[in-house]
Structure 1
Amino acid sequence: MPRLAGRRTAVLAVLALAAAAGCSDSGSSSGGGSSANTPGVTDTEVTVGTHMPLTGPAAAGYSKIAPATKAYFDYVNAAGGVHGRKISYKIMDDTYNPATTQQVVRELVLQDRVFAILNGLGTPTHTGVLDFLKTNQVPDLFVASGSRNWNQPDKYPGTFGFNPDYTIEGKILATYVKDNHAGQKVCFLGQDDDFGRDSLAGVKAVLGSVAAEQTYVTSNPNVAPQMGAFKQAGCQVVVLATVPGFTALSIGTAAKIGFKPSFVVSNVGADYDTLAEQLGDAAPLLEGVVAANYLPLNNDDANPWIQLFKKVNTQYNGNAEFDNNIVYGMSVGYLFVQALQAAGQDLTRQGLIDAVEKGGFSGPGLVPLRYSADDHSGYSGEQLTKVEGSTAAYFGKPYRTDDGDGPVTEYTEAPPAPPANGIPPQ
């Protein structure tokens, strides 16, 4: 089970000590030496940490991600771990509040002395800890957000994304709109941060402009003004760059005011099971919603990755209701295990970063990962989904593109099947 952030008094004391010491433990964290003096690493264990919205406005769905990652680690640990080390995963609740994120990440690094931060979630939350993690030379892997901030290898050499970045996603969603809703008024609602701005940039790169654009803040769960403005503007298609709670709010609010556009939704806010739970009796409003994903869907029981993750979920995650958030969390876990394996027996922080930059990882993703010394972004594209008959299913082929003016092109290679034992080969 995840450990909630509950050591506020202790962490304040740690912060005071850190301030006096210059807020850096870089003398023992660079990884230039050996695992013997690397924080979070012993002969038998490697400890990593994360910040997640276990409670708060983004908790719907997202609170299931880190426990799923931990479940996959427990599965690997039961088979002996990685290079003889078990993976310990410390999960801290930041409530999707940037100030709390800074507090819990400092606790993880300065008090718990984790080896790395893994899959910290959120654009506004994680942006605030980039400089701290850089100063303390802590690997910052596979951030749970599609912000382009994570792909700055010169500025943040230890930070790597995981999700396709939001501009890539915006281009792919807008290509669908251009091909299927030509001549219709397209409007855009996005989170008031890089999530929304980067998504809108991708949409405009393909469509040129939108008829109306609005933003929301997660502290205000009322999108009636935005939906009302779209209705008045005569919007026929609404693109949403929203977290799940605000996707549900937008679709539900639109229905209440008699506004019935076609909704096209960012992957991060489109998990069908999460939205259906949020909408309750109004779940039929999701029929026809188009979104995108880059991992196998939770309802594809014939997919060998889904078979593996369901097995792990049953054995190590309390048989939690299986949705795409669990698929996501276990996919992150699988990738991190590959990175640890590639970093070698003599595990150091720099060795881990070098291993990720070398790339060559494969897994359940429908498109390739893009890691290299010059590219710290994650997956390179997505495939479109549509809700039909209360089920989200893929259609068409996966697409790849870039966050510039490159074309949106189909990707035709199928992902490999998982190893027979479900663990990357060492």
Structure 2
Amino acid sequence: MWRTGGDGPDPPDSLSAFRHSQRRDVTVLSCLRRRGRAAVAAAGVVIPLAVAGCASAGSSGAGVSCDSPGVTPTEVKVGLVYPDSGPVGAGFRYARSGVEARIALANASGGVNGRKIVLEWRDDQGNTSGFARAADDLLRAGVFGLIAETLFVADTADRLDKEGVPVAGVPGEAVWTQHRNMFTFGSLQAAGSSVTTFGLYLRRFGATRAALVFNDTQSRSAEGLVRLFTDSLRSQGIAVADPIGYTPGITSPDRVAAQIKALDADAFVGIVSGEDLPPIYTAAKRAGLTFKVALASSGYDTQFLARHGASMAGVSVLTPHVLFTADSPALHAYRQAVIDHAPELDQTDNEIALGAYITTDEFLLGLELAGACPTRAAFIDNLRAVRDYDAGGLIPTTDLSRFGDPNLCYSFVRVNQTGTAFEVVPGVGGPDPHQWCGTRLGA
């Protein structure tokens, strides 16, 4: 059954210019500016370090005994949860690589406030009960906080918030915009609202009717994303049929293609992993389907091109982070860190690894701002006060105090006709020619 909506509002003129991380306290801010950030020559990146000599931030915590969980005079223990197995394990296989690379880079420069970061990880097996068990196990093991590179946090989020546990990770669920203790970037979702950005993109290519296919093993995450894309497309007058569920390894891609064909859709949106998209899209082409635009929610990495590029020509992929074609010092630093510390990732330009690297950077900034004797409350209070976090230039400037707001701006890339490279689709309404920026719906 097709449903449509009216035209959405025009996109905003611009975002604020990119800036480096803001500090909560004016005295700390001025001290940081005087001292600057220490450059790691081999990587070419700037890394947040202890604010030595700044009275309001405290000096290096090395050798200081603290009562906080996971904090010793020389170390801070941090927990990582991600799906190393289960139905989405393949899509997240490189999350740990990004986390470990960023932590290794920090430790190579002396750690955070003089303490080495020690990582302990657990597998949530790609389900909500698995995440709850993994988080409980890590907290019993005495970690300071959690890095959650997973889609299954929702059922545990309330308890982590009540217990004041800092959490950073990928924004796969609406709960990332509903809890003050949870930090992320590029959030697609916010409570009760969507954005016009994706509808603007499809409308630019003349789409009138869209078929949505989603991974139905991802429960709340998938449901939220289906609602997000549906609202966005309808805001631009694009009709959206009831979404089509897909279970990797069980559902026949040809059956999904037949369902899409029955809808007579001229646009396709795949809310699935980069590994799950090719079987569906190639089945659609075998069925004789053509689309004015095909958009995927993930798949922007060189591994995807190497394995599937020839069959994915013309497919667009959205991304909330810096383009891999950018001449960015922070991007060069990320690549070098992965080469040095995560050799299992043979091709550095991987969206899951980069996203994990960015959220780990965010967690490390929270530790830095928490001071010489960090507490969970200080971590949350001080990081939540940062209004222009950009991971050194890897993402658009983000106001972490406005954690209930969805991300308005994305870049879109498209697999070229030979399947050998991603081409950047010129943007609309953003602060640079590569960004597409819309407005919030339901605000």
TM-score, normalised with respect to structure 1: 0.76
Cα distance per residue 1:62-82 (max 9 Å; x no partner) = 210222211111111011011
SS class of match (2:382): helix
The answer to whether 1:186 aligns with 2:207 is no
Gaps of 5+ in 1: 1-33, 407-426
Aligned to 2:409: 381
Cα distance per residue 1:167-203 (max 9 Å; x no partner) = 7886322211112114x43222234432323332333
Aligned counterpart in structure 2 of residue 306 of structure 1, from 308, 319, 331: 331
Q: Report if aligned partners of 2:195, 2:406 keep a CA contact under 8 Å in 1.
A: no
The answer to whether 1:253 aligns with 2:279 is no
Q: Report if aligned partners of 1:343, 1:355 keep a CA contact under 8 Å in 2.
A: yes
Cα distance per residue 1:349-369 (max 9 Å; x no partner) = 011101221013232344221
Q: Distance in 1 between matches of 2:83 and 2:319?
A: 21
SS class of match (1:347): coil
| Distance of aligned partners of 1:166 and 1:215 in 2 relative to their CA distance in 1, 3 Å threshold | farther
Aligned to 1:398: 435
Aligned to 1:131: 158
The answer to whether 1:36 aligns with 2:66 is yes
Letter in 1 for 2:95: I
Q: Distance in 2 between matches of 1:181 and 1:329?
A: 35
SS class of match (2:153): helix
Q: Report if aligned partners of 1:48, 1:88 keep a CA contact under 8 Å in 2.
A: yes
Q: Distance in 2 between matches of 1:72 and 1:89?
A: 11
**1:386 to partner: Cα distance:** 1.2
Q: Distance in 1 between matches of 2:294 and 2:196?
A: 12
Q: Distance in 2 between matches of 1:162 and 1:172?
A: 16
Aligned to 2:373: 346
The share of aligned pairs that are identical, in percent, is 19
**1:208 to partner: Cα distance:** 5.2
Q: Distance in 2 between matches of 1:191 and 1:203?
A: 19
SS class of match (1:265): strand
Aligned to 2:24: none
**1:130 to partner: Cα distance:** 0.8
Aligned to 2:125: 95
| Distance of aligned partners of 1:290 and 1:106 in 2 relative to their CA distance in 1, 3 Å threshold | same
Q: Report if aligned partners of 1:169, 1:382 keep a CA contact under 8 Å in 2.
A: no
**1:52 to partner: Cα distance:** 0.9
Structure ranking higher in helix proportion: 1
Q: Distance in 1 between matches of 2:288 and 2:349?
A: 30
Counterparts of 1:13-412 in structure 2, within 5 Å, are 36-110=66-140, 112-122=141-151, 125-141=152-168, 143-152=169-178, 156-166=179-189, 171-182=196-207, 184-192=208-216, 193-207=223-237, 209-211=239-241, 213-217=243-247, 220-267=250-297, 269-276=298-305, 280=307, 283-298=309-324, 300=325, 302-318=327-343, 320-321=345-346, 322-324=348-350, 325-359=352-386, 360-363=388-391, 364-372=393-401, 374-376=402-404, 379-388=407-416, 389=418, 390-396=420-426, 397-405=434-442
Q: Report if aligned partners of 1:358, 1:371 keep a CA contact under 8 Å in 2.
A: yes
Letter in 2 for 1:371: L
Q: Distance in 1 between matches of 2:279 and 2:127?
A: 20
SS class of match (2:236): helix
**1:295 to partner: Cα distance:** 1.6
Q: Distance in 1 between matches of 2:161 and 2:249?
A: 29
Q: Report if aligned partners of 2:97, 2:338 keep a CA contact under 8 Å in 1.
A: no
Q: Distance in 2 between matches of 1:319 and 1:215?
A: 33
Cα distance per residue 1:284-305 (max 9 Å; x no partner) = 121111121122234x273322
Q: Distance in 2 between matches of 1:150 and 1:35?
A: 32
Which structure's relative contact order is higher, taking Cα pairs within 8 Å and 6+ residues apart? Answer: 2
Q: Distance in 1 between matches of 2:288 and 2:73?
A: 62
Q: Report if aligned partners of 2:157, 2:175 keep a CA contact under 8 Å in 1.
A: no
| Distance of aligned partners of 1:244 and 1:177 in 2 relative to their CA distance in 1, 3 Å threshold | same
Letter in 2 for 1:398: Q
